[in-house]
Amino acid sequence: MSIVTLLPFIVLIGAMFLMTRSAKKKQQAAQQMRNEMQAGTGVRTIGGMYATVKEIHEDTVLLEVAPGVHAIYAKNAIGAVLADEEYNRILDGADPIHGDESIVPDDASSLTGDTAGDATETGDKADKIDLGKAETPADAEPAAEAEAEAEAKDAKDAKDTVKADADAAKDEKKSGDDAK
């Protein structure tokens, strides 16, 4: 076999090796984080629950999920060990990182420049667009009658055409019989 035919297999095996190597590194880092966990630190479980570590056992951890409420979790269920500042920030609900940013309202009134009071004063119909036909009901009646008359005339013309064709066919048949 030539090297050209083996090259795709070599590249595939190399890519698989690199992917498994990085996955193993991540698993080792997570295991090391779980082993270095101490009582009193804040953690986040893989389910997203925040708790404080009370006791650490060989394969399990006793977590205080609320004051006086304890639960036993597997060590593998610990998703992250949090720094004290971050854990306290999450528990207190304070978010100093995003404190200066403005909050986007649920409605689009701030984007259009209208305030909520202006929209209620002018009424909701001022902002709505009518996507229906431009005709008014009074204009629609004559237009509907004219359309019905045109359809009736077309139908009558079609009947007359069919009758004329049938009469022509009869005449042809009669004249054909006389020629024999």
pLDDT of residue 22: 87
Of the pLDDT bands very low, low, confident and very high (cuts 50, 70, 90), residue 150 is confident
Taking only the tens place, the pLDDT of each residue in 37-59 is: 889 899 999 999 999 999 999 88
Structure tokens at 88: 């306290």
Which residue is listed with tokens 């009134």?
A: 109
Mean pLDDT of 67-92: 89
Structure tokens at 78: 């610990």
> By percentage, how much of the chain surpasses pLDDT 90?
20
Question: What does the alpha-carbon distance between residue 89 and residue 87 come to, in Å, rounded to a whole number?
Answer: 5
Taking only the tens place, the pLDDT of each residue in 110-142 is: 666 655 455 455 555 556 776 766 655 555 566
